[in-house]
Every structure is written in C-alpha cells, then in structure tokens.
Structure 1
C-alpha cells in the first residue's frame, strides 16, 4: 500500500468515527457549541465538508479553483469561516448527504493527480500526500471538538502518527507565523504512541529534545490543549518555546486553548 493509500484509509476511518458520532443527532444536537469559540457541531462538520469539496476542486479543475481564489481574496481573513457558517445552515440530513459525497470524491481526486504534480492551495501548492495528511489532521482535530461537545470519549489510535509527523515538520512554520527566527538546528522528538510504540524524529545527538506522549503532542500542535496540561518535556530554550507556539495547521497564529 502506498503512503497516499495508507493516509486515505486512515482518513476514512477517522471520518467514519465522526460520522457515527453525529449521524443520530437531532436539530438541537447539531446546534451544540464546541470548545472552538462560535462553532457548533454543525459548523464543524460544514467546515470539514466544504474543505473536502474545495480540495477536490483544487485537484481536478484549475479554472474553478482560480475563480474560487478570486472570491476568497476579497475577504481573506473571514472567507473560510464564512463558508462554514453558510453551509451549516443546511438541514442535518442535507449536511450529511453533502459530506458523504465530498468524502467519496476526495480520494478519487487525489489519486488522479499525476505523479510528481502538485495541486494549488490557499498557501503553497501541495502534493496529494500532503493534502491527505492535512485533511486527516483537520478531521481528527475537529472531531475532538465534536466529541468534547457531545461528551463522547475519542478513540486514541496510532493513526495520529500522521498528525505527529505534520507537527514535527511544521516546527519552523510555527516560529515564522509568530515572526520569530526558526532554530538553526533540528530537535530530537521522541513520542510514545497510544499503543506504546516509540516514534522518533531528528538526530539522536540533538542538543534540544521533546519527549512525552504522542497524544498530548498531537493535541498541542492542533492547539486543542494548553501547553501546561500536557505531559511533554522540553530540553532546551528553543524546544520549550516551540511547545508554546506549535501549530500544524496553516494560516495565522492560532489562539490556542486555555488551561484546564
């Protein structure tokens, strides 16, 4: 199985779990507020389905993508959130039906991108593998918000390795969005997966390190937890600063979550 196939299989499983959590909700359930300020369960699912739809456009229809970007740049700071708000006005049945179509269309669209070719996106162009990783990260993180809203305990699976990898890879980005110079040397990151496996990135002899649970690390880089509420241990000033600003998602610096 290729890396893209592996990512898409894990994305489907993650999406299935969220689907099962919301499919039986009544109208009031869909309006339940999540920990993301101003977002309900409906807004969260609407955001995911809209982004899946837009990813399909980016992968398959350059003219339509260019038109979408022209609209987006008229209000770049609010455009994406506004789309979620608009789509969330659909009935629960319509939301699920539209999300189901988007979930089916995305894997085929990504697999159809020619080898070595990247697809346009709101930031730098992305390979299909990078897009699948980003869609997994967003689906997982937003599903956590829905689980929190509904009082459902999320499954802790080793699928989060995709999020952990993205969190490590976006270290320098996190510094740059805070207008800080990225560290000049790699860190060593050693994390324990939900199943107990050891996941590692960076040179073994790195001067600065981050250790702890992969689950807490993934919560942190998606800004679903405050730094002080994790078990992560940083050795080195730069590594500690990274853990206060880490973000695996694109866009401006996120506000993060308050301490429990």
Structure 2
C-alpha cells in the first residue's frame, strides 16, 4: 500500500468515532477501570495521545525521536505505562485537546510525507501507510477497551480491514516473540466482512491450513480484546489451530490477553493483560 490516502481517511474516521464516544463521558466515567490492568479510560486516551505525539516526532524530527527512543531503552518495561500515567493526570479537557490536536497533526504530516520515505520507530522503520495503519489498529483496539468499560457495543465497519491485514501479516511475529518456529507455508484466511457483503481473503486459496470467521471476531482475537473461546473464528489444520492460540497484531512481548467469559481474572488482573499497548504493529505487519 504505497498511497496512504485511503488509510489516512479511515484513520481520521476511526479517531472521530472514538472521539464521539469519549466526548460524551462524564468526569466520573473517565476514571472507570478498563479491561487493561490499572488503566482507566483516561489512561487509554492518554496512551493514544502519547503515541500519536511520538509518531509525529518521528515524521517531523527524526533526531528528536531518536532521543525519545533512548529514554525507552533505559526503561523498556515501564515507558509505556509512564506515558499513560502522566497523561491520565491531566484535566479531561486538556487530555482531550492534546489527543485531538496530536492525531490531526500526525494525519496531516503523513499525508504530506514524500513517497517512499520510511520513518524511525520503536520497531522497524515504517512508511506513511504503515504508520497510519498502525495508528488505526491501536485507536480501534484501545477504543474497544473504552467501549467495554462503559458497556457500549460498537458497530463494526469496513475499517476493520486494516486491522485484519495487520493480524494476518503479523502471523510469524507471534511465533517469534514466543521463541517458536513459525510454519513455513502460508495459511488461507477467509473473513466475513462486517456488513456480510463478502469475504476478505488472504493467502493461497488451496492452502490446507485455514482460518475462517467474522472479520470483527478475528480482529478482536488478534488484538487480544477477546478470548478465543468467545469468538466465532475457526481453524482447519494443526498449525492454524496453534496460531489462533497465540495470534497478536501488536508489537512487543506476548500478551496474556483477555480471560474467557466467566473466568476469574488472576491476581492484580494479570489475566486480562494490557495487550496492544506497544506503540505500533508487529514486525512484518506494515502496510
């Protein structure tokens, strides 16, 4: 995907949809706990704002971004939480203004970026389309945490195609991050579009290892916003079945994911996992 225009338009729409949800929340609701341990709704929005700011710095001032990555290297296990904690302490109106301004500045910077340029990141460098796709995936995934916290059921849209694509392309990373050997052959993935109009397909049509199901359920699974037992995603073949147990679209360490419905969350909420909090898509998932 060399032309980022379409995904940038979808990124704006995804941000606007989440803005509609959080913009109507009361001050008390901003402190509600989300499925991510220790993270309130304010933490979720602060994380998005913080990551958009980092992405903007990468696009506009790579040297300054390099200094920020050095800080991350000095505290690899805490820098994401530290950014969310700092933002969550802001008054709600300031936090909203920061997020709104940052995501719009980033979108404009990516739209004006010269073709073929790759920007530094916490993982491999990314082009404008890859950067926008990663931001859309995170906006949708953290938006799901917020929706779950307030009991809102969001209508899935065709924008999920970007999330699904990252999930498919990040297959081998899920094995790598767990120290496992990835299968050598491609899988066939067939996902029913949210409006039921057709299939989104990936991989060889005759591949013996197959994954099928609704696109929404697949996206919830690969962003670890739902347990496998609670989605209608099915596998044919041993390797495909194993992949669904470990799939992740986000970079960083393997997440624990959500517990299955009815399961008891472990000590300190660890079973829920703060999946997807690493800033960007997994290696090999770029657009």
For the aligned pair, the TM-score class normalised by the smaller chain equals over 0.9
SS of the residue 2:4 aligns to? helix
Please say if 1:148 is aligned against 2:148. yes
Partner in structure 2 of residue 204 of structure 1: 205
Give the RMSD, CA atoms, in angstroms.
1.2
TM-score scaled by length of structure 2: 0.88
The structural deviation recorded for 1:36 is 1.1
Which structure 2 residues correspond to residues 97-176 of structure 1 after superposition, within 5 A?
A: 97-176=97-176
Say how many residue pairs are matched. 260
SS of the residue 2:206 aligns to? coil
Q: Which moves more between the two structures, 64-73 or 249-258?
A: 64-73
Cα distance in 2 between the residues matched to 1:23 and 1:230: 29
Structure 1 runs of 4+ off > 6 angstroms? none
State whether residues 224 and 255 of structure 2, in contact with CA within 8 Å, keep that contact through their aligned partners in structure 1.
yes
Higher helix share: 1
Q: Which gives a bigger RCO, structure 1 or 2 (Cα 8 Å, sep 6+)?
A: 2
Cα distance in 2 between the residues matched to 1:103 and 1:12: 8
Cα distance in 1 between the residues matched to 2:17 and 2:62: 32
State whether residues 44 and 142 of structure 2, in contact with CA within 8 Å, keep that contact through their aligned partners in structure 1.
yes
TM-score scaled by length of structure 1: 0.97
Which structure 2 residues correspond to residues 1-260 of structure 1 after superposition, within 5 A?
A: 3-196=3-196, 197-260=198-261
The structural deviation recorded for 1:109 is 1.4
Q: Which moves more between the two structures, 166-175 or 227-236?
A: 227-236
State whether residues 60 and 109 of structure 2, in contact with CA within 8 Å, keep that contact through their aligned partners in structure 1.
yes
User: Where does the alignment leave 5 or more consecutive residues of structure 2 unmatched?
Assistant: 262-287
The structural deviation recorded for 1:25 is 2.2
Q: Which moves more between the two structures, 236-245 or 3-12?
A: 3-12
The structural deviation recorded for 1:3 is 4.3
User: Where does the alignment leave 5 or more consecutive residues of structure 1 unmatched?
Assistant: none
Q: Which moves more between the two structures, 109-118 or 193-202?
A: 109-118
Q: Which moves more between the two structures, 108-117 or 221-230?
A: 108-117
